């Protein structure tokens, strides 16, 4: 039986790389995001490479949309909670709507997605949930109180779920990227980039494929005895 993996935020960047990497392992991939056109492009890439993929629209700010999407996806064996956004600003001036928006997608959305897949995983006594956290969820970062809090929350959620469902052979882990070359980091100034690179012992940024490789491992049978773990993929940026 071919298992299904659903990747949220899979329309570009890290999510796209994760979807492509998992597809190469023979999984059926559900490419889920709120970008219909980009979903279709990623699905086309997977199919052209001989993989099995389906596009799925989901609004991660909407509990109703999440529920509808996961019903449409069918039984899910692997969930990758990758969808994430930023709305940066100093805490003392941060608008509540910017706080709520980031938390609703990055943390609440991940929780609601997990809720949708856990009953089926528990029934099958097999499942993988892999949450994409961030180095800043461990280290903190000025100007990102909302994003940092959401990613620290993801780490806590990972550990809580791992303890709840481990006895049912369902593992829950997190991958914490560091400075990865994506559309999100492309917006940084050269000064900001130089400051980030100075903190990285490997003296370079990572690529989306570096994160995808870690997710692929945690989704595999080789990682069957790993749960509640945060795998840092950051070039040594935070130790």
Q: Is 147 a catalytic residue?
A: yes
Q: Which residues have CB under 8 Å from 50's CB, separation 6+?
A: none
Residue in 70, 99, 147, 179 annotated catalytic? 147
- The dihedral of CA 205, 110, 45, 48: what is its sign? positive
- Asked if residues 45 and 24 have their Cβ atoms less than 8 Å apart, the reply is no
- Asked if residues 5 and 30 have their Cβ atoms less than 8 Å apart, the reply is yes
- The dihedral of CA 137, 19, 125, 61: what is its sign? positive
The residues annotated as belonging to the active site are 147
């Amino acid at each position: 039986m071919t298992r299904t993996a659903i990747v949220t935020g899979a329309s570009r960047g890290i999510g796209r790389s994760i979807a492509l990497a998992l597809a190469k392992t023979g999984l059926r991939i559900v490419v889920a995001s709120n970008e219909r056109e980009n979903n279709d492009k990623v699905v086309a890439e997977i199919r052209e490479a001989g993989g099995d993929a389906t596009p799925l629209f989901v609004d991660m700010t909407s509990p109703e949309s999440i529920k509808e999407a996961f019903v449409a996806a069918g039984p899910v064996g692997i969930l990758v909670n990758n969808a994430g956004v930023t709305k940066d600003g100093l805490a003392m001036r941060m608008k509540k709507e910017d706080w709520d928006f980031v938390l609703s997608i990055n943390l609440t959305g991940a929780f609601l997605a997990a809720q949708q897949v856990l009953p089926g995983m528990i029934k099958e006594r097999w499942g993988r949930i892999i949450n994409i956290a961030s180095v800043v969820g461990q280290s903190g970062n000025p100007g990102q109180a909302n994003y940092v809090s959401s990613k620290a929350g993801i780490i806590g959620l990972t550990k809580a779920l791992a303890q709840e469902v481990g006895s049912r052979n369902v593992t829950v882990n997190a991958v914490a990227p560091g400075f990865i070359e994506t559309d999100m980091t492309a917006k940084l100034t050269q000064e900001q980039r130089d400051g980030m690179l100075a903190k990285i012992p490997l003296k370079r940024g990572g690529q989306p494929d570096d994160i995808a490789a870690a997710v692929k491992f945690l989704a595999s049978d080789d990682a069957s005895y790993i749960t509640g773990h945060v795998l840092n993929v950051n070039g040594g940026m935070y130790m």
